[in-house]
Amino acid sequence: MNKIQSINPFNNELNAEFDLLTENEILEKINIANDSFKKWKLVANSDKKKLFIRLSELLLEKQEELAKLDVIEM
């Protein structure tokens, strides 16, 4: 099976390796995303607001770790 490699551009070390998805796996993921979107549309805006506030808190808490990951993926 073919793979996608994530290479650190600074030192050319392999970060990770991922199997390519088959067409059926891709279609399955698209269907799951579509089903999730239909459910998300039914969530009250006040609940969405709470979730996004929590997301922003988590992103701020993890910003250094996320920045490091971002750098090695560039």
Domain boundaries, the chain: 3-73
Q: What is the pLDDT of residues 39-69, one digit of tens each?
A: 999 999 999 999 999 999 999 999 999 998 8
Query: In this predicted structure, what is the pLDDT of residue 1?
Result: 67
Distance CA 61, CA 67 (A): 12
**Cα–Cα distance measured from residue 36 to residue 46, given in angstroms and rounded to the nearest whole number:** 18
Question: In whole angstroms, what is the distance from residue 67 CA to residue 48 CA?
Answer: 26
Report how far residue 69's alpha carbon sits from residue 54's, in angstroms, rounded to the nearest whole number.
Answer: 21
Beta strand spans in the chain (E): 3-7, 14-19
Cβ neighbours for 25, distance < 8 A, ≥ 6 positions apart = none
pLDDT, mean of residues 5-22: 90
